[in-house]
Structure 1
Amino acid sequence: MARQAQAALALAGAHHSSWRGQLGETRKVPEGIVLGTADWDGTLRYHYDEVVKPLQEMFARRGEQLDAETLVRYRSALLVVLHENAHMLAPEGRDNGDERDTPITTDPARKALEEGATEAWAVRNLDRYIDELGLADVCPGLKQVKEISRYQHYLPAADVLAERLGEGSAAGRDEVLRQLNCVLSDGKWPVLVDAMYKNSELPDLVPQGDQRRVKRELDAAMRAPMRLLKTLETKLPISSRASGSRALGEAAYFEGLRAVERLENQYRSASAPLLHQDRAAEQPQPSNHQDYKDVIVKAFSGTADPTGAITHPPAHPAPVSSTRPPQQPQKSTGRDPR
């Protein structure tokens, strides 16, 4: 526990962690439990029975050969630790507590990206976290089982967005997720919007004075489908949430492409129409784009493509946790008090 923040910081490369070295237990809620909290005062809080106790048990049984169910329980507890430490990562000059007065619960799209990107990064880096902490020697087999994520309504959408934008920039999904986890929640959407903007022709077309307005339009387009992710938690069974989430993540990406296409055409006609029309003819366009409302209907009817794929080519191709089994009810968790 003394090394938890430094290990997460080493993996992400953020400027610093907001953790102040204090630990506590999560708050009580009327229904369910809160597994972990990255509190505004820099305190990390974990549920004792679901997080702290399994990890204490893991150390007490150091070196033993354990069954898969036990290993999953330990690994899932560790995922909570990495997730909450990711919430504590911050850029220079800022801390987790800076957002105390701007709660993300008022904006479903902001909360969806905050929790989804945090969980996606934690899941994809959990093996590295285990290595950084030397836990593979403590618990043999810890890297041979699959953890249980608590955010199946958020994680897949954020993962898809990072993958699509990573392909467009040649940075790759992991780098996009890393960048998202090095900023606070109010900085995450700008990371995605900047990636969408830079992956297009807009930097060559848009005057500097218009850039803020153009990025606001991209932001609004991409957020619209993501606002519906929270509803998946209550409207769909657990088994269908991941596919619905992926579908909405794809929809957010293609709504961004649609906005890019419209803005590029607008600025081409205003600046150098002949040159840019010739260039546009060479580019695959998302003009056959499936309206995201159709995707939403499929997501909520449970008929979304299980792969989460929507087969439309990008307009600019690349040279881009729960500790209980999924069939059991999800617990109420969050970045307290959000």
Structure 2
Amino acid sequence: MVSSFPQLMAAQAQAAVKVLGAHHSSWNKSYELLAADDKRRGLVRWDHTIEYHPQHVVAVLQDMFDRAGQRHDEETLRQYREALRVVFHENIHLLAAAGTSYGMAVDAYQEPSNKVLEEAATELATQDALDDYIDELDLEAIAPGITGVRTGRAYGQYVPAVEVFGQAVADSAELSAREVIRRLAGVNPENKFRVAAQLLYDAHKLSEVVPEAAKAAALERIESAMRPPFATIRDFDPEDPLDVRMSALAGTRASLDADAEVREIAEYWSANHELRRSLDAGLGASPPLRKPQYGTPSRDTRPNEPGATGRPDRKPHVLGGLTVRWCGYGGGRWRRHRRQLRRATERGGGCGERRNAAESGGGCCKRRNAVVVAAGRLEAVVAAVSGGRLLKAGAVAGVWSSV
């Protein structure tokens, strides 16, 4: 049991390691204070120092210990719990696998997809295990009732994507979503996608068809497939309800793309018995990273948003009666289409193929009854469920609630 703020600071990292079953914490046993006017509540520096806000975290927790054992109203308990949420969150960032540290991922964190997964997985693990963290430190005795209140979640623009993605991986791996998030949280930002890829690799028994010499390339392919949707939501606004809704769809897209890649890998190696045998015997050439492609790929097949895999998605996904399609336009062609889409939406017409497309029943992209998620920030242009009537982006929330 910790009975003072200094004791809490001394025990914070090891308690996080124990609660989440991580290998170790990268914390350097030093914490400092943020500026009083800093809007952040806490952060971890790349030298493994933690910084906490002097009023919203440090002063609040000192007050909690000064009033140990007393009964408090819900608002006071929420303040205490929120301060502890910050402490736990920052300590989860510092968890790492054997032979690694948080600071080793300084370059990897700059990649948009890594940042999104790092922050969201850390926050989800915080919410999942905060009561366990409080119990480990025996803080219910310090602030009776603290496990009975709840606080909000940070990174609301990222969490829905990782929540949906984590559940999909959990379903494939026959694990709980909480266990998947725990495993993601226990490694640094550079290794989180590899953990997810390994879970899918094992769940689909790819080791039975993929030669050991080709395993690393296969895992890299799975990682690469799931990254783009996460990258596109990096600049989402947690205060924008549409961004929050679209974040979840990005998580769905990432899981679908990863599953498709797994199937493609399995099909490739199942059909190439001779190459498999050669590699297993150590006689073959290095395995291809991708299946052979014929012809010259178009310059305009680069992915630009969740689901843009370099070709139109010919397999729509039906959610709650609506057909969801991701626009497959890429490069300059996509940007032209995006401008047409916006102009047409403003005047109530089609998506640029022709002005009256929606009015004539064609719907967006001439696909009646289709939801087409478009643009770099996933601004949505939605054809109504009946009649192909095109709705402006501001009306998406009402339609989206039915999905």
TM-score, scaled relative to structure 2? 0.65
Shift of residue 63, structure 1, vs aligned partner: 2.8
2:104 maps to what in 1?
98
Give the one of 263, 267, 271 matched to 1:261: 263
Shift of residue 259, structure 1, vs aligned partner: 1.8
Could you report, residue by residue, the CA deviation over 1:168-202 in whole angstroms, capped at 9, with x for unpaired residues? 11232222222112211111110011112222253
1:23 maps to what in 2?
31
Is contact 1:232-1:241 (8 Å) kept?
Answer: yes
1:52 maps to what in 2?
58
3-state SS of the aligned residue for 2:43? Answer: strand
| 1:292–1:82 CA distance, 2 compared to 1 (3 A) | farther
Give the one of 157, 160, 167 matched to 1:163: 167
Max Rg structure: 2
Higher helix fraction: Structure 1 or Structure 2?
1
| 1:305–1:78 CA distance, 2 compared to 1 (3 A) | farther
Could you report, residue by residue, the CA deviation over 1:290-314 in whole angstroms, capped at 9, with x for unpaired residues? 555567449644548559x8xxxxx
Is contact 1:152-1:245 (8 Å) kept?
Answer: no
Could you report, residue by residue, the CA deviation over 1:58-111 in whole angstroms, capped at 9, with x for unpaired residues? 2223233322222222211111100100111122222222234x2512x11010
Q: Give, as a single letter, the amino acid of the residue that structure 2 aligns with 1:134.
A: D
Shift of residue 7, structure 1, vs aligned partner: 0.8
Inter-partner Cα distance in structure 1 for 2:270 and 2:56: 56
Is contact 1:12-1:178 (8 Å) kept?
Answer: yes
1:181 maps to what in 2?
185
1:280 maps to what in 2?
none
| 1:96–1:27 CA distance, 2 compared to 1 (3 A) | farther
Moved more, 70-79 or 57-66: 57-66
| 1:176–1:300 CA distance, 2 compared to 1 (3 A) | same
Shift of residue 13, structure 1, vs aligned partner: 1.6
Higher strand fraction: Structure 1 or Structure 2?
2
3-state SS of the aligned residue for 2:22? Answer: coil
Inter-partner Cα distance in structure 2 for 1:305 and 1:202: 37
3-state SS of the aligned residue for 1:243? Answer: helix
Give the one of 6, 9, 13 matched to 2:14: 6
Sequence identity, in percent?
A: 31
Shift of residue 26, structure 1, vs aligned partner: 2.5
| 1:217–1:97 CA distance, 2 compared to 1 (3 A) | closer
1:313 maps to what in 2?
none
Cα RMSD, aligned residues only: 2.7
Matches within 5 A, 1:178-217: 178-217=182-221
Please state if 1:120 is matched with 2:130: no
Give the one of 37, 45, 49 matched to 1:39: 45
Please state if 1:132 is matched with 2:136: yes
Q: Give, as a single letter, the amino acid of the residue that structure 2 aligns with 1:74.
A: Y
Shift of residue 239, structure 1, vs aligned partner: 4.0
Shift of residue 221, structure 1, vs aligned partner: 1.5
1:71 maps to what in 2?
77
Between the two structures, name the one with larger relative contact order (CA 8 Å, sep ≥ 6): 1
Shift of residue 238, structure 1, vs aligned partner: 4.2
Moved more, 155-164 or 20-29: 20-29
2:366 maps to what in 1?
none
TM-score, scaled relative to structure 1? 0.77
Is contact 1:36-1:81 (8 Å) kept?
Answer: yes
Moved more, 143-152 or 193-202: 193-202
Residue segments in structure 2 that go unaligned for 5+ positions in a row? 1-8, 275-313, 318-323, 328-370, 381-395
In the alignment of these two chains, the number of paired residues is: 289
Is contact 2:43-2:52 (8 Å) kept?
Answer: yes
1:237 maps to what in 2?
239
Inter-partner Cα distance in structure 1 for 2:95 and 2:372: 34
Q: Give, as a single letter, the amino acid of the residue that structure 2 aligns with 1:4.
A: Q
Q: Give, as a single letter, the amino acid of the residue that structure 2 aligns with 1:18.
A: S
| 1:56–1:250 CA distance, 2 compared to 1 (3 A) | same
